[in-house]
Amino acid sequence: MKETIEKLVEIFGPSGHEDEIRDLIRRIIEKEKLAGGKGDEVRVDAMGNLIVLKKGSGGGRKVMLAAHMDEIGVVVTHVDKKGFARFGRVGGLRPLTLMGGRVRFANGTIGVIGLEKLDDRSQTPGLEKFYIDVGATDKESCPLRVGDLGGFIRPFAEAGRRLVSKAMDDRIGCAVLLQTLRDLKDSPHDVYFVFTVQEEVGLRGATTSGYGVAPDLALSIDVTTTGDTPEAHPMAVSLGDGPAIKVKDGGMLAHPGVKNWLIETAEAAEIPYQLEVLEGGTTDAMAIQTSRAGVPAGCVSIPCRYVHSPSEMVDYADVTNAVKLLAAALSKPIELK
């Protein structure tokens, strides 16, 4: 699974440019014949979501699992006469993590993020103080144009049992979906594994795919922040203590029956888990939950340090236990209590 994670996180794919990551995921599915059974289906919808149907044995529910393919990035807003590019956000950039970072653009251009001289070093600079240096000497020699999108460059690394890379949010969720697709041998449910687009800019892929799939029940698989670093904002989620079952976040309340189903499954299978209350931010589950006439929805979260930075950190045991939880939950009939 680590090999799959490394491939997924290192590929280019800011919101709106998910083609490379979608093609990689599809190649893995086709090469390993993960959706080759009777009634199985692999397709791409009009928004660019990759939808993989794994047909069940019958008598179950229509379940949607969603993980987003896109990552945060930058978009060029202006190129000055000296060839330096100014940029805006694609998703939730954190300015404190930007200085000296490298970005790659869709046309292959590599740039370094620089920072203007600050009059007051005690203040956190806004994005207007940053620029991208691509080695150009003037505007004409700069290969970037207004509207070009870029993503961060940062190689995958292991730090003990922890995995570190850019784009863990949410390529780690994509890896969990792929491994669950491998491990789920027998299920009564029709399970839709949906790799969504444009989550970081408004849950857009989940909005359309949730409407199109029209599931009976849905789970998003995404990262969540932790409270286990020095002087962190208090939060009862830590790396290494198991996947987090969402209770609430900034955009939704998890369906109580879905939450209880996941808790009961984890306890019966002796899978470690945590309960998550996230004060800000949300996931694809929010969009799916309010699709059509409403969908019972929840979220299995992977605890992650340094979210929305070029070096996001997860614990490998949390990742593998998330797969075990999903496989166990989907292997039997679902009763929401």
Tallying the residues shown for the chain, one arrives at: 337
Give the whole-angstrom CA distance, residue 115 versus residue 132. 9
Q: Give the residue from 170, 193, 209, 186 showing the smallest Cα distance to 42.
A: 193
Catalytic (active-site) positions: 199
Instruction: Spell out the alpha helix ranges (H) of 184-229.
Output: 204-213
Q: Which helix (H) or strand (E) holds 160?
A: none
Give the whole-angstrom CA distance, residue 237 versus residue 318. 11
Give the whole-angstrom CA distance, residue 19 versus residue 13. 7
Structure tokens at 314: 């997860």
Q: Are 4 and 179 in contact (CB under 8 A)?
A: yes
Q: Is 180 helix (H, G, I), strand (E, B) or coil?
A: helix
Give the whole-angstrom CA distance, residue 128 versus residue 86. 7
Structure tokens at 264: 């009961």
Give 67-103 as a 3 state SS string.
EECCECEEEEEEECCCCCEEEEEECCCCHHHCCCCEE
Q: Give the residue from 67, 37, 64 showing the smallest Cα distance to 190.
A: 64
Edge-to-edge strand list for the sheet holding 312-315: 157-159, 162-165, 312-315
Give the distance, in angstroms, between the CA of residue 300 and the centroid of all CA atoms in the same chain.
Answer: 12
Structure tokens at 77: 């807003």
Structure tokens at 99: 């200085």
Q: Which residues contact 262 (CB under 8 A, 6 or more apart)?
A: 245, 273, 298, 300, 325, 329
Give the distance, in angstroms, between the CA of residue 47 and the centroid of all CA atoms in the same chain.
Answer: 17
